Amino acid sequence: MGSTNTSVSVGSVVDFVHYEASLADAHRLQDWLALWNPERAAYLVPYPNEEAGKLRVAIIRDDFEKLCERIERLSGGAAHAQNPPSRLVRVIGRVITREGEDRSIVASSNFMCFESRPDREMLWAGTTVHTIARRSDGEGLELWSKEVRLVNAQSEIPALAFLI
């Protein structure tokens, strides 16, 4: 595994990445949202292209306010594509860490996510890049950003309402 700064251990970052995925799979949406730092939250699911930053075309580009709206839709029954919610299981592998900015850790991992719905079953795969840091109160870790790079982003994509 890559190096890490002294304030966050590699093991705690790997555990955090797995915990974040388990909350999403279990539809524990409020607990998942509580992982985020509201001032730094950036969630991106880009289409594969050569652009960078805000020029990138994205399937999802959310700040904390938009994440809250997404969770409210999913929790309140307004996301009809997720009624009933998809059954999900993610397998996370090859977590590699490196130092980020402002004493953060960047964790890159591969994933496979199996989604089962009454009308279809899908296998999603890709790489996730988490930026994680110690909470300002020193109690645990928080998520600053998450980028999900789907391998199948150039294929026909059905509703991704489950993807958080």
Q: What is the DSSP letter of 9?
A: -
- What string of DSSP letters covers 49-83? -S--GGGS-EEEEE-HHHHHHHHHHHHHT--GGGS
Position 120 scores a pLDDT of 82
> Is the per-residue pLDDT at 140 higher than 90?
yes
- Which helix (H) or strand (E) covers residue 43, if one does? strand 42-46
Lowest-pLDDT range of 15-19, 89-93, 150-154: 150-154
Q: Which CATH class is domain 10-150?
A: alpha beta
Question: What is the Cα–Cα distance from 108 to 54, expressed in whole angstroms?
Answer: 21
Q: Is the preceding peptide bond at 84 cis, omega within 30 degrees of 0?
A: yes
Does the structure show a pLDDT above 90 at 122? Answer: no
Full-model pTM: 0.84
Mean pLDDT of 33-62: 82
CB-based contacts of 119, cutoff 8 Å, min separation 6: none
Structure tokens at 149: 């790079």
| pLDDT classification of 48: cutoffs 50, 70, 90 | confident
| pLDDT on residue 4 | 42
Checking if the pLDDT of 5 tops 50, the result is: no
Higher pLDDT, 103 or 141: 141
Q: Confidence band (pLDDT; 50, 70, 90) for 50?
A: low
